[in-house]
Amino acid sequence: MSEDAEQPSIVPSTQRGPWMTFLRSLAASRGDIASITAPPFILSSTSLVEYSRFWAELPALFVAPSMIVDPEERALSVFKWFIATLKGQYTSRNEALGSEKKPLNPFLGELFLGRWETEDEGTTYLVSEQVSHHPPVTAYAIFNDIYGVELQGYNGQKASVSTSTLSVKQVGHAMLYIKKFDEYYYITLPSLHIEGLIYGAPYVELEQSTLIQSSSGYRFQIDYSGKGYFSGKKNSFKAKMYAPENYSSAIYTFSGQWSGKSTMKDERKKAEKPFYDASEHKITELIVKPTSEQSAYESRRAWEKVAAAVKIMDYDTIHTEKSKIENEQRAMRKQEQDEGREWLRRYFELVADDGIVKEVAQRAGVEPDDSVWRFNRAAFEDGPDSLLK
């Protein structure tokens, strides 16, 4: 018996027809999923620009590495933080809404600003901006000045469809910086596919491999799998940790479920012990200003009417209000084109890779993007939406 019986279908009986039509359009779409109109019950009232939040919903794990002097132990605590982010990133919609949902497609310049306030860590800030609409790319920065930890990254999605499986390759990377040790961690992003589409209960399964390469030399290689693979359980992973001087034999190995329990084995002492258990950690809710205090480009204010219509499945209003936003965006792009200018990104700038990303990535044998989206901290501190005021 597989660990979890197939999820019950969430397709309302009245929606079976539209769901089958949707699956057929998906199969015919050849990957441009943003253009597919998914049946309203699968729509999320949350914009994709909000998904940067999943990198730091456990602020204590996010800042922990800054307090660990031993580089090997510090690298291990970064790896624990990374594994801990996966549950929120890839399964939180299933838990909250019963299945994966299709996020609202952010418009160019859409912003999402928030902060976590926790007893021991103080304030951890989140700045997320849709820096590209075609293809969709979200840039984000998460930083805690008390502990001197900053995560910057950007990600986009390249989707492909084969029969009824939707596969997504993520482009971009995340870079964690720990000020006290002037240390970087280059993090690549997992490919994924959507399981359960034919049952009408879609959920994300991660696949293939990613790595974490530290400027200290420590490296992690993580291999992902789902049901029916090596462990038979969904959300499974195996990982190897390498020391700087020797990338051919792992010093630690890990295995388990990134959404549940995992263990670690010291390959030098052949000792095995628990590594991480997702059920032992409760996320901290992100504080976001009420829409009445948000600027016009902040996500929840911009999508307020659409989100309300999605919640009550008012299909006509969803369409009307979405069209207003899309038409407004088209008009702005046309005006920019006529005036020979481009939309100015508010908090991020596209810069030729300034060396550190390239240096750390190449150390891991990865060819990074030529140019990277970098957080412009000064723009954020002086900006109208600044949370720092």
Which positions lie near ligand 1KG, rule CB under 6 A? 26, 33, 36, 38, 42, 48, 51, 54, 89-90, 100-103, 155, 157, 166, 168, 170, 194, 202, 204
Q: Cα separation of 69 and 13, whole Å?
A: 58
CB of 35 to ligand 1KG, least distance (A): 8
Q: Where are the beta strands (DSSP E) in the chain?
A: 43-47, 102-104, 111-118, 122-132, 137-144, 149-162, 165-178, 183-188, 191-195, 203-214, 219-225, 236-242, 252-257, 261-266, 271-277, 348-352, 371-375
User: How near is the Cβ of 54 to ligand 1KG at its closest, in Å?
Assistant: 6
Nearest to ligand 1KG of 99, 216 (CB atom): 99
143/218 with CB nearer ligand 1KG: 143
Residue number with CB closer to ligand 1KG (126 or 204): 204
CB of 72 to ligand 1KG, least distance (A): 28
- Whichever of 21 and 337 has its CB closer to ligand 1KG, that residue is 21
Which residue type is seen at 164? Answer: S
| Distance in angstroms (rounded) separating the CA atoms of residues 128 and 385 | 12
**Residue 208 CB contacts under 8 Å (≥ 6 apart), including other chains:** 190, 191, 223, 224
Q: Cβ 61 to ligand 1KG, closest distance in Å? A: 16
For residue 45, CA distances in Å to 52, 101, 294, 299, 304 come to 16, 9, 17, 11, 9
CB of 300 to ligand 1KG, least distance (A): 18
Q: Which is nearer to ligand 1KG, 37 or 291 (CB)?
A: 37
Of 140 and 147, nearer to ligand 1KG (C-beta) is 140
CB atoms near residue 292 (< 10 Å): 7
| Interatomic CA distance for residues 25 and 276, integer angstroms | 40
Q: Return the residue matching tokens 């412009």.
A: 376
Kindly state the tokens that stand for 321. 């209000």
What is the C-alpha to C-alpha distance for residues 89 and 187, in angstroms, rounded to an integer? 15
Measured from the CB atom, the residue of 26 and 264 that comes closer to ligand 1KG is 26
Q: Of 57 and 150, which CB lies nearer to ligand 1KG in the complex structure?
A: 57
* CA 200/CA 214 separation, integer angstroms: 40
- 301 three-state secondary structure: helix
| 3-state DSSP assignment of residue 127 | strand
Q: Shortest approach of ligand 1KG to residue 244 CB, angstroms?
A: 28
Structure tokens at 266: 């010291």
How near is the Cβ of 372 to ligand 1KG at its closest, in Å?
17
Shortest Å distance, C-beta 33 to ligand 1KG: 4
User: Which residue, 252 or 347, has its beta carbon nearer to ligand 1KG?
Assistant: 347
Cβ–Cβ under 8 Å, residues 189 and 209: no
Compute the least distance from the CB of residue 174 to ligand 1KG, in Å. Answer: 9
